[in-house]
Chain A
Amino acid sequence: MRIQFMLNGESVELEVSPDATLLSVLREEMGLFGVKHGCETGECGACAILLDGVPVNTCVMLAAQVDGHEVTTIEALGEHPERGWRDTGGLDPIQQAFVETGAIQCGFCTPAMILAARALIDRVPDPSEEQVRDALSGVLCRCTGYIKPVQAVLRAAALLRGEEVQPIEAPIPVPPEFLESPPEDPTAGEGFLGGPEVLTRTDVMPRIHVAPRIKPHAVVGQPEVKVDAIKLAQGKPAFAADIEMRGMLVAKILHSPVAHARIKRIDATKARELPGVAAVLTWEDIPRVIYSTAGQSDPIPGPLDSFSLDNKVRFVGDRVAFVAAETESLALQALELIEVEYEPIAAILDSGQALAEDAPQIHDEPEYVGFADSDPKRNLAVEIRIDIGDVESGFADADMIIEGTYQVPKVQQAHIEPHVVVTYWDEDDRLVIRTSTQVPFHIRRLLAPVLCLPPKRIRVIKPRIGGGFGGKQELLVEDVAAHLTIATGRPVRFEYTRAEEFFASRSRHPMRIQMKTGVKRDGTITANDMYVLSDTGAYGCHALTVTGNTGHKSMALYVGDGRYRESPNIRFYADIVYTNTAPSGAYRGYGVPQGFWAVERHMEIVARQLGLDPLAFRLKNTLRAGELHPFSTAWSEGREPRPETINTCGLADCVEQGSVAIGWSDKYGNDDWHRVEGKPHLRRGIGVALVMQGTAIPYLDMGGASIKINDDGSFNLLVGATDLGTGSDTVLAQQAAEVLGVPLEDIIIYSSDTDFTPFDKGAYASSTTYISGAAVVKAAQQVAERIRIRAARMLTEETGEKIAPDEIQLVDRSAQAPDGRSVSLAEVALNALHHEDQEQIMGTASFVSPVSPPPFAAQFAEVTVDIETGQVTADALIMAVDAGVIVNPLTASGQVEGAMTQALGYALCEEMVYDENGRLREIDFRDYHIFAAHEMPELGTIFVETVEPSHPFGVKAVAEIPMDGVAPAVGNAVMDACGANIVKAPITPERVWKALQAK
């Protein structure tokens, strides 16, 4: 049918299929890739446009419905301020505000948010914070925690009204004074949601307790604009699916409807005969190669137990067949034509049944390759047995032994961009994989044997990524499209639906955790014991390492005091078992949030049973600088452990800063504060959790970087590191700029492409700023050295007065001698590239660390509990974190705010539940609730800097640690409010109510 409408101010007329969604027409027919696909049911809002001036979601709208209307997409707003000789109007003020405030992380939802903001400000020039939050409520963001987008809209509105806003690059306070609590800025709110009043100021800098610098930095430590922000604010085609190719096929998977079965017969004849179907692949059509889908370094520290396609299915959603067709609709029709006869096998849906003697065996394939103690006959993917010190002796010394059992659910990463890949043969018949991955180099290595290609015949390109959070540390979709490209010779696009993201993707390991702690009456921990039953689902990807980190981090924090501190007694045992559920895998925090739910809920109970102050009790027993990481001699991700000393620990300062910020001393133990005037059914509570994480895997994680100078004194920085929206490209470029004495804009960073960028193990284990950053610094130092040598020669030749290279400093785009002589980097570059003794000034370096310096944090939470219904409302989350030196306060605080928000879902509402047939309850964002802009509590971030000596700029990690403490802090706050001891996350109203009933 033919439709006519106004599109971005111009009348368009086109032929569309009556059942085509507006989303598909805008993206596939009109090439407007600023409109994103995040779901198919309208809940995520990434596909939003303005229809007659108001935001609507195009995935749930037919193109036919807009006939006669006016459509505005992000492409209508603003343009890059620099377009050569042609003057441009620059970015729209709202885009500019999003860029400047750090409101853009992965940028996948950014176009939709900017359009929503535009619609609001057009209607309400002076919006309240509540109105801004409501305006953004239709767009889910998994990265930011919404603070910075809200601030961006408020700032843009103010600027558009002609008002001044506080500059972002406000002076950063210096030590030694601790910071005062911020002044209250209550925003009026009579919101319907009844949640807490939100407090979002228009000044965007987090509070930082800055560590003393040996030398002041010019770029490191500054709130630099993200290097990819401008294109993301414009909705440029930067993501994996934002590509058009002639003849590209659409791939789909036939998923298993049963939890456990042998495929007796599969017949794809009818599907193959359907016109428009290019290929149908079953297990009979492709090589049988066993592998692990976990994106990890070689050798994979876990079992090899997966095939691209197998003659057995192990969970509802497992792969049965692949289809490639001319259109999505045809591919879906083809799936229905594949005949499959299943021979059902009893399923294991409860991890508690997996080790039973009569349990069915999930992995009985002869090709299975175990790791360490894998025992597939018992459904045991791996087991861990770690004893540090003499645990039984420690228990014998204890005055009290306190035990508890805790449970955490399976939860989804819920990145708004689904898994998506495009594969094609290039002109050299090399297979190109353009994919949304955190681990491009691992993908190439892992995929090669599966496809019977050598790695050198594969090129993996990682464009921008719309969030990953661990979910894309996996070979999950790449093999599907690649097999189909091999089968057809044609480009293939394969993209998960939102439902597939839930039932056929990866998730956080659910765990049952038993704690046993021995303590003296004075609060000294004498022994600490954790046993974990971890559910890896149908496949053992990340089975060992995720659960290993559960103990490695959470059980390392509490070493005890006195002689126990010198020789801690810690036991960590874990069984990681197979079940007939979707596989677990990597998810931000990587096993550690599970561990800290148990440890920090348990420590609260121990402190209360001893009658001790929970902060003092904790700090008495926590790990300190100068001490040995207790697990460093026992376990290292399945590799040889080596002793590791903690160099820096700002935990005590974090506790002090965080407690001031949340008003701990005024609230904890204050009965008046706990009661809500006029509402006898409400109780306030305050809670804390102390946490630690790691920074990369020592002696293993390696990042490489390459830098070269250009004619104008700018630099190309190539890294294999994988910015999945975190801002790592920006902080890596900042480190290069600092060394080279140039502004950030002179560093053109590119990541990542296995053909062009150096190896990097990828974005996981909180490693990029530290590992890849150190590699960048080393490469930049090589370049700086070449510049100094040449500049010294140029200056000497120019004046006849000799100067040594080591006297030269690189500052302000120039090489400067102490006597004031200088030569610009552009002159140095022209000299090197064109004039004299020509050379390409460049450097290439890599870095691997012998240590994994832990960041530490104090997470505080404030809640209100309805003691009659059990409903919990989070009022405030404040995290004080020692993440070493902060390279970029905007991106770093964005990491904390976003992770706290994800973790709040873990605390209160996120949970994946299977029925008795192994079918998942949650397959969309309606049932799987993630927090939206209008229901957020106050979020606060405080950085307490330390200077980690193993990194040139003193950095540690910040990306994962904010996932760790929110759930137990909220749990402890609930207990503080009403005495309900919730041992099973999430803290649902019914669980609170039942705990109150049981009191």
Chain B
Amino acid sequence: MCPFEYYRPKTVAEALKLLDHGVPLAGGTDLIPRRDEVQAVIDLQDLGLDTIESQDDIITMGAAVKLQAMVEDKDIVPSALREACCLEASLNLRNMATLGGTVMSADGRSPVVTVLLAMDAIAILEPGNKRLSLEELLDQREKDDLHGLITEIRLKQPDFLGYEQVSRAPADRPLVCVAMARLPSEEAEKRYRVVVGGVGSSPERIKEAENGLSEGEDINTAVDATRRIYTSASDEWASGEYRAHTAGVLVGRLATEMIS
């Protein structure tokens, strides 16, 4: 077994220098159980990346913000995102898990990432102050091609944000979940976001459903498109047939709520 090293840098610059030697340690709830896979960890707790701010309807959250801090910030964090945080993990883990860590370790059943995708979240990475949409970030993560350190997640305060899930028990991981947002965009095609989760490595945007909503808030088109795309969403937890149907139901409910 290789020796294991622990670093706790005081600045982002220091952290970036250490990135070649190890992996970022945020809350650790995902990383620590599999720490034998890494040789060194870079603890981000002293980097000051734990603030939540809102300015001009842009919410800026540090990557090291704890999920529970998001739950407790009722003034800034939208209710559906706070709800998703509660469903992501129980209290003790929410006191540890960070926003950035959750994004990096989430799979398709993550309520938080489902909602963040619906909110068109932007990740800021260092070095270089790079802006990546959450979709791009998840794509690069999937390809193991993500370089740098997430320092911030930026969100637009939505006009509407809703989240629904179906699970075996109230706090169980979702079999199917849907997040829907109406964002304050001038361009109609960027206004609506529909994201479905419950399967695979990350939740999925249903662009056809978004298009349906953009073109006259057509709920049926959104529902049908969701069902069409999710038919293949089959795994050991639920059939694609069921997921397609249920995702359609949830899209329909959220769209109805949004439009009303």
A interface list, Cβ under 8 A from B: 1, 17-19, 21, 40-43, 45, 48, 51, 54-57, 59-62, 64-65, 67, 116, 134-135, 137-139, 192-195, 329, 332-333, 681, 866, 868-871, 873, 905, 908-909, 913, 915, 921, 926-927, 929, 931-932, 934-935, 986, 988-990, 993-994
Contacts and interface: CB of A to CB of B under 8 A. Distances in A.
Contacts of B91: 55, 116, 134-135, 137-138
A138 B90 contact: yes
Nearest to A936: B170
B166 A871 contact: yes
Interface string B172-183: 110110000000
Given A60-B96, A135-B91, A41 B33 contact: yes
Given A1-B6, A333-B1, A993 B242 contact: yes
Nearest to B86: A192
Given A869-B249, A929-B172, 13 more contacts: A18-B4, A43-B90, A43-B93, A57-B29, A59-B33, A65-B25, A192-B83, A333-B1, A869-B246, A870-B166, A870-B246, A873-B170, A932-B90
Contacts of B25: 62, 65
Contact of B169 (A1, A43, A51, A931): A931
29 contacts: A19-B35, A19-B36, A21-B32, A41-B33, A42-B92, A45-B90, A48-B92, A51-B95, A56-B92, A57-B29, A60-B29, A62-B35, A64-B6, A64-B43, A65-B28, A65-B45, A138-B93, A138-B94, A139-B92, A192-B86, A193-B171, A195-B170, A332-B36, A868-B246, A908-B169, A929-B172, A932-B171, A989-B246, A994-B242
Contacts of A134: 86, 91
Contacts of B175: 988-990
A65 B29 CA distance: 12
A855 B5 CA distance: 59
B32 A60 contact: yes
A926 B173 contact: yes
A908 B168 contact: yes
A929 B173 contact: yes
B245 interface: yes
B86 A868 contact: no
Report the interface size class on chain B.
35 or more
B259 interface: no
Interface of B: 1, 4-6, 8, 25, 28-29, 32-33, 35-36, 41, 43, 45, 68, 82-83, 86-87, 90-96, 166-173, 175-176, 236, 238-239, 242, 245-246, 249-250
A352 to B, nearest CB: 19
Contacts of A929: 168-169, 171-173
Contact of B33 (A40, A45, A869): A40
Contacts of B94: 138
B169 A137 contact: no
Contact of B92 (A17, A55, A927, A990): A55
A868 B4 contact: no
Chain B CB within 10 Å, residue with most, of A40, A42, A195? A42
Contacts of A62: 6, 25, 28, 32, 35, 41, 43
A600 B1 CA distance: 55
B239 A990 contact: yes
A40 to B, nearest CB: 5
Contacts of B32: 21, 59-62
Contacts of A329: 1
Contacts of B167: 871, 989
Which A-B residue pairs are the 9 nearest by beta carbons? A138-B92, A909-B168, A935-B170, A19-B4, A18-B6, A193-B170, A138-B91, A195-B170, A138-B90
Contacts of B170: 193-195, 873, 934-935
Contacts of B41: 62
Contacts of B250: 869
Nearest to B82: A192
Contacts of B43: 62, 64-65
Contacts of B95: 51, 54-56, 138
Nearest to A192: B83
Given A41-B33, A990-B238, A990-B239, A17 B90 contact: no
Contacts of B171: 137, 193, 929, 932, 934-935
Chain B CB within 10 Å, residue with most, of A67, A869, A932? A869
Contacts of B8: 64, 67
A140 to B, nearest CB: 8
A921 B236 contact: yes
**Is chain B's binding surface mostly helix, strand, loop or mixed?**
mixed
A45 B167 CA distance: 22
Contact of B87 (A192, A871, A913, A988): A192
Contact of A935 (B6, B33, B169): B169
B169 A56 contact: no
Contacts of A994: 242
A138 B32 CA distance: 18
Contacts of A40: 33
Chain A CB within 10 Å, residue with most, of B25, B170, B176, B249? B170
Given A873-B170, A935-B171, A42 B4 contact: no
Contact of B28 (A60, A116, A192): A60
A927 B86 CA distance: 17
B28 A61 contact: yes
Nearest to B68: A54
A59 B96 CA distance: 12
A333 B1 CA distance: 7
A804 to B, nearest CB: 64
Nearest to B66: A54
Chain B CB within 10 Å, residue with most, of A56, A873, A932? A56
Contacts of A908: 168-169
B249 A868 contact: yes
B5 A57 contact: no
A805 to B, nearest CB: 59
Contacts of B90: 43, 45, 137-138, 932
B96 A57 contact: yes
A349 to B, nearest CB: 14
A763 to B, nearest CB: 28
Nearest to A333: B1
B249 A42 contact: no
A21 B6 CA distance: 12
A988 B168 contact: yes
A314 B176 CA distance: 36
A335 B134 CA distance: 40
Contacts of A194: 170
A54 B94 CA distance: 10
B257 to A, nearest CB: 12
Nearest to A18: B6
A61 B87 contact: no
B96 A61 contact: yes
Contacts of B28: 60-62, 65
Contacts of A871: 166-167
Given A43-B90, A60-B96, A869-B250, A18 B168 contact: no
Chain A CB within 10 Å, residue with most, of B8, B29, B83? B29
A714 B246 CA distance: 65
Nearest to A140: B90
A51 to B, nearest CB: 8
A329 B242 CA distance: 44
B222 to A, nearest CB: 16
A225 B226 CA distance: 56
A729 B90 CA distance: 33
A18 B92 contact: no
Contacts of B36: 19, 332
Contacts of B168: 908-909, 929, 986, 988-989
